[in-house]
Amino acid sequence: MFNKHDITRNEFMLHGPLAESGYDWWWHSFTARDAETGEEKPFFIEFFICNPALAEDLPVFGQLEENKKAGKRPSYLMVKAGTWGKEKCQLHRFFSMKAVSMHGSAPYKIEAGNCLASETHLKGEISISPEKAAAHPEWMCDSGEISFDLKIKKEIAFNVGYGAGKPLRTAEAFSMFWHAEGMKSKYSGTVVFNGRKYNVEPENCYGYADKNWGRDFTSPWVWLSSNCLKSRKTGEYLENSVFDIGGGRPKVYFLPLDRRLLGVFYYEGKEYDFNFSHLWLNVKTEFSFDDSGDEVVWNVRQENIHAVMETEIRCKKSDMLFINYEAPDGKKRHNKLYNGGNGYGLVKLYDKIDGQLVPVDEIEVTHTGCEYGEYDPE
């Protein structure tokens, strides 16, 4: 059972060695609508903490040459927010961890300035002038203004299970942990972006919320998820469904595994689980990525002893960002990390019955969150 809510996995995780060599982030994405025109616009909001034990009075940026020469690693809270498609951008606001108030245990709560993140609430604002963005490349962001005030209700979870239990967390068995407490979430409230107001309504926000933490990022880095799903079998939208795929090349005790993905489909209450760490399911995965044209294309085939899921997602390059992070060691390895919220495509589900594949449904997918990035090994 992967739809198992556990807000303890959303706790602040940077204890022990990870406190000075680790990152912890809470990601949120959703679709809003222009208050005047009704036009759809997807947004994302993230709270990202890096190396809190190395905090100084001001944020420490790993991309600054003087910090590289001095051997200083990054330390800060980064509030990231932005949009895809027209006016795509990522905006970053940084705080020293000394200026952050945090309730780290469940339910978590982070506050800095007028920015707040918790299980049920997001609030904040970011304003970056073109001059400031140009003068501070170490901020790794664009220019623009955004403010947000949102309530969150997390409805369906993807509890990955592997390695997120306390024994393996304490031992730092994995380089990158993942938990999607709200792979289907309902947001309500408002966003103001570059002077325009956008309303966020629970019935059509197609919201998502997850959590990642660890000491380094995976490569390749894959993520696909949507809960805006239309059945070709019935012609109706699936109101109690969501799929989520993520992973790449996980490391266990610093040893990389072969290309592995975690995938699930919650199909109108029935769970299809393609989690490679569930050995009893004998999960097999094939995936490819192509960015040679005007669109980027993901193809994923996942199989277990009970079912098969085939996923093809596309997203226009013009709608996507190269999203920016620096690792806890201060290096920025991912410089071509595609990130989008306007993906679309098709998922085919099959049951295995008496050795035969029996079609369950073909599902048209839109409003898809999507990522891919890979870098050459050092």
Each residue's pLDDT tens digit, 209-225: 999 999 988 888 999 99
Q: Is residue 116 part of a domain?
A: yes
Q: What percent of the chain has pLDDT over 90?
A: 86
Lowest mean pLDDT among 57-66, 211-220, 231-240: 211-220
Residue 376 — pLDDT band, cuts 50, 70, 90? confident
DSSP structural state of residue 241: -
pLDDT score for 155: 98
The CA distance from 342 to 48, in Å, is 23
Specify the pLDDT at position 219.
81
Which residues, at least 6 apart from 97, have a Cβ–Cβ distance to it below 8 Å?
49, 52, 55, 75, 76, 77
At 19, phi and psi to the nearest 5?
Answer: -65, -25
* pLDDT score at 248: 61
3-class secondary structure, 41:
strand
Check pLDDT > 60 for residue 168: no
pLDDT at residue 171 greater than cutoff 60: no
Percent of the chain exceeding pLDDT 70 equals 93
CATH of the domain at 150: 2.40.370.10
Residue 183 located in a structural domain: yes
Domain-embedded: residue 2:
no
Strands 260-267 and 242-248: antiparallel
* Distance (Å) of CA 268 to CA 180, 203, 251, 363: 18, 16, 33, 12
Mean pLDDT of 184-212: 98
The residue written with tokens 């918790």 in the block is 118
pLDDT of residue 218: 86
- The dihedrals phi and psi of 368, each to the nearest 5 degrees, come to -95, 130
Contact indicator for 116, 110 with CB cutoff of 8 Å:
yes
Q: Determine the structural domain holding residue 69 and report its residue range.
A: 7-373
Does 378 map to a domain? no
| Mean pLDDT, range 67-82, rounded to an integer | 97
Compute the mean pLDDT over every residue in the chain, rounded to the nearest whole number: 93
Asked if residue 141 is part of any domain, the answer here is: yes
pLDDT (0 to 100) of residue 378? 63
Mean pLDDT of 353-366: 97
In a domain, 340, yes or no: yes
Lowest-confidence pick of 237-251, 275-289, 322-336? 237-251
Identify the pLDDT of residue 257.
47
Does 232 score more than 90 pLDDT? yes
Is the Cβ–Cβ distance between 115 and 40 less than 8 Å? no
Q: Is residue 80 included in any domain, yes or no?
A: yes
Q: How many domains does the chain have?
A: 1
For the segment 84-138, what is each residue's pLDDT rounded down to a tens digit?
Answer: 999 999 999 999 999 999 999 999 999 999 999 999 999 999 999 999 999 999 9
Does 162 or 62 have the greater pLDDT score? 62
CA distance 39 to 232: 26
Q: Output the pLDDT for position 375.
A: 85
More confidently predicted of 248 and 229: 229
pLDDT of residue 251: 45
* pLDDT tops 50 at residue 169: no
Q: Output the pLDDT for position 259.
A: 59
Look at residue 1 and tell me if it is in a domain: no
**pLDDT band with cut points at 50, 70 and 90 for residue 276:** confident
**Interatomic CA distance for residues 240 and 151, integer angstroms:** 20
